[in-house]
Structure formats: C-alpha cells, structure tokens
Amino acid sequence: MVALAVILGFGGAWAISETVETVNDRILSAASRAMAESLSVEDGAIALELSPAIFGMLESTARDNVYYSVRHRGRVLTGYADLPSIAPPGLADTEVAFGTGRYLGRDIRIVAEARSLPQISGPVLIEVAETLDTRERTARQMLIALALLEAALVGAAAIMLPLAVRWGLGPVAQVRDEMDRRGAADLTPLSLTSVPRELRDLVRAFNAMLGRLDASVTGIRRFTADASHQMRTPLSILRTHVELLRRTAPGSAEATASIDDIDQASERLRQLLVQLLTLARADAAGPSTVALVPTDLNEVAAAAASECALAAVRANIELVFSPATRRPALIPGNAALAGELVLNIIDNAIRYNRAGGTVTVEVGHRSIAIEDDGPGIAPEDRERAFTRFTRLNRGSDVPGSGLGLPIARSLAEAIGAEIELRSPASGRGLRVLVRF
C-alpha cells in the first residue's frame, strides 16, 4: 500500500508539473499572439498598437512580473531591450518557441513568436516572458493537496483494511469453527450453503480430500479387521496342536499329525504375513511416488517364473516360459513392483491349478500373460476376484487368503499397468493379461 502511494505520489507530482506548465505556457502564447496581431505597416514602417486589454494582461500583478520585446533584424522596436532572447535562428512565420532564462536576477519563462508583415523583409520577433512565482506557488499548493489526500487515503485504508480482511474472512472462520466442532472420526463433507462463491472451489477440493481420506481410513479399518480374522485361524490351529502335543506321547501318530498341522498352519501364517506386507507396500506406492525407468519385461517375467519353479515342481505343475521375440522388451516401469505383480499371478495360477496342469508365462509387446488350465473363474465372478480376502472356491481344500489378485491389481495401479481376466483359447482355465 505504501509503495502504491509512493508511485501515485510521483505520478501525481509529474502530472501537476506538466499541467501547470502547459496552462501558463498557453497564457504566454496568447499574449504573444495578441501582440503579433496588433502589428501593422504604416508608410513602410512597422507600427505596434497595444490595446489596454493586452497591457492589462501583461501587467497584471496576479500573473507575476511580465516582460516583452519586439525585434526586427536584431533591433529592438519596443519593450525591454535587455530581455534575453530564446528564439532559434530561422523561426518561421507564426511559429512559436518556448524556453527559460534569467532576467533581473529571477528565473523567467519566455515565449517567442515570428510574424511576417507585408512590404517588410524578414519576420518580426515578438517575445513575452514572466517570472515563475505563480507557477511554483500553484504547483506547491496542488502538491500539498495531493499529499494530504494521499495521507487521508492511506490512513483510511490502514483503518479499514483490518476490518475488511476480518469481514472478508468471516466465511473462512465459519468453516474453521465447523471443523473444530467435529469429532476426530467425522469426515463428512463440509456444507456449501454459507460458503461464498470465491471459496466454493477450495471447499469442494477440501471435501474431495475428506472423501479420499474417509475411503483410506475405511480401507485401513476393513483391512485390519480382515487381516485379524484371517490370522486368527492359523494361530488357533497352532495353539490347539501345541496343547495336543503336550498331552500326547512323543513319536506317536497323534504327535506326528499335530506337528504336520502346525507346519501347515505356520506356512499358511507365513504366506499370509508375506502377502499382507506386500499389500501394504502396494497401497503405499502410487503413480506419483514410484519412479518409472526402462524395464525389460523378459527379465521381469523370467525372474518371477524362476522363483515359482520349485513351487510348480512340488505341485506337479509344468511351468512354461515364453519370452518376447523382440529383445529387450522395454517399457517404462518399476522392476521390483512389476516382479511382485507377476509373481503373485503365477503363484495363484500354480496354487489353484489341477494336478498335472500347465502354467504358461508369455511375454508380448508391452504385456505379460499368465495362463493356466485349471478350474478358472466364471466371467460373472472375475471382478469380485479382485476383492480382498474373497475366496471364490470356498469348498476347495487349497489353502489361501484371497489376496493374490488384489495385491496384483494394487501393484498394477502403482506402476500404471492394467490387469484383465480372460478365458483361454482352449476354453479351460484362466488367462491373466497384464498390459503395461
């Protein structure tokens, strides 16, 4: 505000100076023109008849001291002979020139005008001058008025600005009070009823953030509840069989069976913990946080297939790897997350395939397809297969937690990939296509 006032002050001072100068120069020019109009030629001589009105204008004390001179070819015909001349050489007929000088110890403003007369060779030069006291006094008064006006405006603004800001931020204070009254778990959107138009976009964006936060909190709660439910079963099995081991003789058939059940339960618990950690990592990753670099899909698929090879052998599954014909098959991605994605899909294909079945890992142009010839997933259940902790074949004796495909989708979203479930060309099993 102060800077604006300073700028306006300098601009106003310049405008005042120019205005005062222009107005007074016009009065001087009118005086010289009136004198020029009074020139005449009588018997070959130059005559000047100054009317009382001209003398009154020139000698008015309200207009400061006024001086004049009329010259022809350097000779003073009338007026003040020692008045400084500012006329440039060759001043044409009716042409006017302005300048400044000093006369009788005071600064003066001078106007010069040339006028041609019949039968007279060369133009007659009329010059009129005045002191600058009136100009300076007028400019000073206007500058004082401008300074007082600016001071009044700045003072009024300084008083009104806090009130205006407080009044303008009233709706923001209302939104703040509404947020303060809420409980920690209340993430419902804010009302737009009392919000001014200028703040509605901001409140809408804040409501959208509340919606995302509510969805995230709900997801965490659901994830915690489902995870605790899934972990309760293997932990109960462990506790039960540990208690049975305490009551049975070492080496007995019951003890051996309990040890086998403990081993299976601990393996299931290990697998569940690994998947939960992977799912948490996938949820934490996102397109804005994951760095995408050139990634070879052949290497990603080969590494994942190699890691699952032992599990395929134990399950009597033939694992076939078909690399892309173009090497390397480069895409912008993240090798670690893409590897976990493909690994989860291959593990699912092996786990839920039939004994003696085949799992094929095929690398294409910017895609990886994992196909099995097991029971597959019905088309109407395929979207539901991506729901966490959902097991479609509940009658199956294959252990699992329903996290394989949800983890794969979360990892795919983090690196900008897409997963599609299809029916193989043979009509049997499931084909999972990952497009990068």
Which pLDDT score, from 0 to 100, does residue 207 have?
84
- DSSP states of 98-141: EEEEEETTEEEEEEEEEE--TT-SS-EEEEEEEESHHHHHHHHH
Q: Could you tell me which residues come within 8 angstroms of residue 410 by beta carbon, excluding any fewer than 6 positions away?
A: 279, 282, 283, 285
β-bridge mates for residue 127, sequence order? 69, 112
From residue 241, how far is each of 229, 234, 246 by CA, in Å?
A: 19, 11, 9
**pLDDT tens digits, 252-280:** 777 777 787 777 677 767 766 776 676 66
* Helix 335-351 / helix 253-284 crossing angle, nearest 10 deg: 140
Which pLDDT score, from 0 to 100, does residue 395 have?
40
Which pLDDT score, from 0 to 100, does residue 282 have?
63
Distance, CA of 388 to CA of 223 (rounded, Å)? 8
Name the nearest CA neighbour of 300 among 366, 373, 371, 372.
366
Which pLDDT score, from 0 to 100, does residue 285 have?
59
Q: Are 259 and 249 in contact (CB under 8 A)?
A: no
Which pLDDT score, from 0 to 100, does residue 66 have?
86
**Residue type for 287, please?**
P
Count other C-beta atoms under 10 Å from residue 335's C-beta.
16
Q: Are 152 and 34 in contact (CB under 8 A)?
A: no
**pLDDT tens digits, 57-108:** 555 455 678 888 999 888 888 889 899 999 898 888 889 999 999 999 999 9
Which phi and psi (to 5°) does residue 377 adopt?
-130, 130
Q: Could you tell me which residues come within 8 angstroms of residue 336 by beta carbon, excluding any fewer than 6 positions away?
A: none
β-pairing verdict for 293-296 and 45-48: unpaired
For 337-435, strand residue ranges (E) read: 358-364, 367-372, 418-422, 430-435
Distance, CA of 288 to CA of 280 (rounded, Å)? 17
367-372: strand order across its sheet: 318-322, 358-364, 367-372, 430-435, 418-422
Digits of tens for pLDDT over the chain (436 positions)? Answer: 677 777 887 888 898 888 888 888 888 888 888 888 888 888 778 888 777 666 555 554 556 788 889 998 888 888 898 999 998 988 888 899 999 999 999 999 999 999 988 888 889 999 999 888 888 888 888 999 988 988 888 888 888 888 887 777 777 777 777 777 777 677 778 777 777 777 778 888 888 888 888 877 776 776 666 666 566 666 777 777 777 777 777 777 777 777 877 776 777 677 667 766 766 666 665 555 567 788 999 999 999 999 999 989 989 999 999 998 877 778 888 888 888 889 989 988 998 898 899 999 999 988 999 999 998 888 888 888 888 767 666 445 666 667 778 888 888 888 889 999 999 988 899 999 999 9
Q: Could you tell me which residues come within 8 angstroms of residue 379 by beta carbon, excluding any fewer than 6 positions away?
A: 423
Residue 155, classified by CB atoms within 10 Å of its CB into exposed (0-12), middle (13-18) or buried (19+), is: exposed
